[in-house]
Structure 1
Amino acid sequence: MTEQAVIDQQVRHLLFEIREQTVSDVGASFQVAEKTSYKDLVTTVDKRNEQWLDRRLKEIDPGCRIISEEGFGDHVADLGGHVWVVDPLDGTMNFVMQQHRYAIMVGLFIDGQPTTGYIMDVDTATLYHGGPQGGVFLQTPTTNTRLQSPVDKHLHDSLVSVNSMMILKGEHNLRQVALAARGLRMYGSAGLEITDVLTGRLGAYISWLKPWDAAAGRIMAAALNLTFVKIDGTPADVLSSNSVLIATNNAAREILQLVK
């Protein structure tokens, strides 16, 4: 087994461990605080998960650097070497308000190249993992099945998910995008909306994403022949926050025409 395969196996095992603890946290008491506003929450679970992930990734992949949401990672200004991007609890509002529809996400870049992404659907104990070198897989506690590239649907044949504030504010002509699609969905978890594009349940997802929101999905999108770009059609920057489109190639082309 190669060094990279050993790292991958250990990270997948780690994510199932953290998933079990996170599920048990739903029925326990945890503290909630506001970050930038009452709509931007952080919990003691976010912080605990991040510290756990950062510590174990440093053990699994010595010498790596980590970008993580709650500030426990490294200061990273470039993608040289092994760089992990960590979202310890994606969909914190859902976790707090609904105890439903939230994820844990990790992405690995090696010398700037998208290498392996991981998105754990905590509710269903389903881990989406993989990248351009070996393909993308859907893993449960008992199975590990390779995903095929989704059907390249057009916009009018697709359900799309759009960030609620972007569409309420009328940004980027997104109302017309929603009207041109077969239907509109909003989940409140970038990770779960991205996995629905990876599996073909959605034809497109559009949102303002920070590095930890986008990294894992970008890596797996590259392996499944999906478009992952800024809303203006230019390449998305791993280290910056961007308005991002992930979609089938046909839907992406049609969305970018409407946006422009």
Structure 2
Amino acid sequence: MDVNEIKVIDKTVKGWLKESRDNVLRKIDTRLTVNTKSGRTDLVTNIDKQNEKFLVSKIREFDPASRILGEEGSGDDVTTTIGRVWIIDPIDGTMNFVKQRNHFAIMLALYVDGEGVLGYILDVTGNHLLSGGPQIGVFDNGQPLTKVADTPLREGLMGLSGPMVLHNDYNMVDIANQSLGMRVYGSAGIDIISVLRGELVGYISYLKPWDFGAGKILCETAGMMVTTIDGKPLGMLSSTTVLLATRRAHRDILTIVGQ
């Protein structure tokens, strides 16, 4: 894809996200309709659904030939990576949104034939946007992202899934112990922003495409590793345990996982 076309898309998407954020904040203190999906900790609200429909409508108007994979089902039944595919997470960290009205994100990604082109993670209440892709670089609130140091596990904080640590999946307790400390934010988007800004050396959780689609693009562009927990390539349509980290921390974690 031509870089000038990418820049036009980038400017357009940032406009959508500003409007999307405004829509969410206008309704954040209203009475929510909250339902469960797979279980009592897997929530969806009327705001999730409304925000996804808003973003789907913008994409349909701007890029009608593309397909859309949305968490709440407003898009298409995407079973192949061929062509242009948009991935939407309208509210990432819905439990945080419901219980705290904070620490949640909106995420959007564009893939073409399975390759990441543009990714966006917006911390809604913090008004903090990480954006970009391999042809234009990564930006932190519009400024080029400061290069993140290649810090090993033992010298950094690690973002981890609380349930996975409690069950010691993949030797997660050892990973936590060998880091300087674990953090559990409850939102993949907020964790990934922290990794990109050098506040965490990595993040591990079971994720679906809308959870990691944008982060995969941004982190790989920034020179980090994004794989399955056992170091295998991560497919765009995968639902699996994802390991996202600096290169040195990634090597350290794979050693622990393999023990």
Amino acid at match of 1:237: G
In structure 1, the residue matched to 2:143 is 145
In structure 2, the residue matched to 1:180 is 178
SS at match of 2:69: strand
RMSD over aligned CA atoms reads 1.0
| CA deviation string 1:184-222 (max 9, x = no partner) | 100000001001111111001000000000000000011
In structure 2, the residue matched to 1:44 is 46
In structure 2, the residue matched to 1:94 is 96
Alignment length (residue pairs):
256
In structure 2, the residue matched to 1:68 is 70
Q: Once the 2 structures are TM-superposed, how far is the Cα of residue 138 of structure 1 from its aligned partner?
A: 1.4
In structure 2, the residue matched to 1:239 is 237
Q: Which residues of structure 2 form unaligned runs of 5+?
A: none
**Contact map agreement 1:86 1:212 (CA 8 A) in 2:** yes
Runs of 4+ displaced beyond 6 Å: none
TM-score w.r.t. structure 2 length? 0.97
Q: Which residues of structure 1 form unaligned runs of 5+?
A: none
Amino acid at match of 1:242: T
In structure 1, the residue matched to 2:223 is 225
SS at match of 2:38: coil
TM-score w.r.t. structure 1 length? 0.96
Indicate whether 1:113 and 2:143 are aligned: no
Q: Once the 2 structures are TM-superposed, how far is the Cα of residue 79 of structure 1 from its aligned partner?
A: 1.2
SS at match of 2:101: coil
Indicate whether 1:208 and 2:206 are aligned: yes
**Contact map agreement 1:16 1:125 (CA 8 A) in 2:** no
In structure 1, the residue matched to 2:248 is 250
**Contact map agreement 1:130 1:220 (CA 8 A) in 2:** yes
In structure 1, the residue matched to 2:14 is 12
In structure 1, the residue matched to 2:153 is 155
Amino acid at match of 2:210: W
User: Residues of 2 paired with 1:82 and 1:4: CA distance?
Assistant: 13
User: Residues of 1 paired with 2:11 and 2:152: CA distance?
Assistant: 36
User: Residues of 1 paired with 2:136 and 2:10: CA distance?
Assistant: 11
Amino acid at match of 1:112: G
Amino acid at match of 2:179: A
In structure 2, the residue matched to 1:166 is 164
In structure 1, the residue matched to 2:133 is 131
SS at match of 1:2: helix
User: Residues of 2 paired with 1:47 and 1:159: CA distance?
Assistant: 34
**Contact map agreement 1:7 1:60 (CA 8 A) in 2:** no
Amino acid at match of 2:201: G
Percent of matched pairs sharing the same residue: 43
User: Residues of 1 paired with 2:164 and 2:147: CA distance?
Assistant: 28
Amino acid at match of 2:193: T
Q: Once the 2 structures are TM-superposed, how far is the Cα of residue 4 of structure 1 from its aligned partner?
A: 2.6
Q: Once the 2 structures are TM-superposed, how far is the Cα of residue 131 of structure 1 from its aligned partner?
A: 0.8
Amino acid at match of 1:11: V
Amino acid at match of 1:40: D
SS at match of 2:172: helix
**Contact map agreement 1:7 1:61 (CA 8 A) in 2:** no
User: Residues of 2 paired with 1:218 and 1:3: CA distance?
Assistant: 21
| CA deviation string 1:56-110 (max 9, x = no partner) | 0111222110000011111111111110010000000000001110000001101
